[in-house]
A and B are shown apart, each in its own frame.
Chain A
Amino acid sequence: MTDTATISQMAHLGAGIAIGFGAVGAGLGIGFATKGLMDAVSRQPEVAGKAFGFFLLGAALSEACALYAFVIAFMLLGK
């Protein structure tokens, strides 16, 4: 069970699982951020420019969580 080929296969499987679950969280986060932006703009259209700046900031912060998973997946691919 512990030969190199099996470890490599399991590492590739783990990489796929890692990036998949990581993308779920980031997708939810960016979706909620977009919902918040739409709510704010439809309620108060004059804050659109300012709200979009905060939206980009929040989207970048939640997207970073998927990229942590990406780094882990990339490290696993190298095994």
Chain B
Amino acid sequence: MEHWLYSFNIGEHTFWVNLDTLFTMWFAMLFVIVFALLATRKLSIIPNKLQAAAESIMNFFYGVLDTMIETENRKHVPLVASLFLFIVTANLMGQLPLRIIHIKQGELASPTNDINLTAAMAVIVLIYYVAAGLKAKGAKFFLHELSFTGIVMALVEVLEMFTRPLSLAIRLFANIFAGEILVSIALGAMAYFLPLPIMLFEILVAFIQATVFMMLTIAYIGSAVKEEH
């Protein structure tokens, strides 16, 4: 997939920006922010419909966090909830007919079919869980005990710091990317009829992949802050 590239120079370095990803990402962010602002505007004991929907969404996050992290679990809800809501909105945007808007290069689609966006989110998760582990356990986060087994385990955990964000980024990117390729192949094979069931399946995939990303984030944070016995 080609993207609408825009280049600019800072000093001697040239930076490239994928403008189509940027626009669709801002659109998804705007949707989530407007939903959050509208849902929290007039809070009352007897909630209106929007507030009730937002409360049930928050209860979902609280329930997942309560079951997967033992202590002080609810302080992680801002990262987890914003990741989930943003990824769901971004994935579902791929099924909107955005491609009828012609841009100079590339096409408007789901912003998560760009590996730069998913890699950025995976790096945020990496920084967050390392920081949470350091805050909870200090230097013991890296080295549990000073023995041969402890050093080997520490090396394995350093290796995991590379493989975990890599697999997070590639999983989300590849699912959305493969879905769009599949829809375009189906469109070429039998236009207008064959893509419909595949697009319905892609809506399911959008929710599943957002849930997988959120669950893995929570599992990484949970394993980082867990007390050793």
Contacts and interface: CB of A to CB of B under 8 A. Distances in A.
A68 B209 contact: no
Contact of A61 (B173, B177, B212): B212
A70 B178 contact: yes
A72 to B, nearest CB: 10
B208 A60 contact: yes
A30 to B, nearest CB: 13
B57 interface: no
B215 A67 contact: no
A61 B181 CA distance: 20
A48 interface: no
From DSSP, what is the main secondary structure of chain A's interface residues? helix
B53 interface: no
B137 interface: no
Interface of A: 56-57, 60-61, 63-64, 67-68, 70-71, 74
Q: Which 10 A-B pairs have the closest CB atoms?
A: A67-B174, A64-B171, A60-B208, A71-B174, A60-B212, A70-B178, A67-B178, A56-B208, A67-B175, A68-B170
Interface of B: 167, 170-171, 173-175, 177-178, 181, 205, 208-209, 211-212, 215
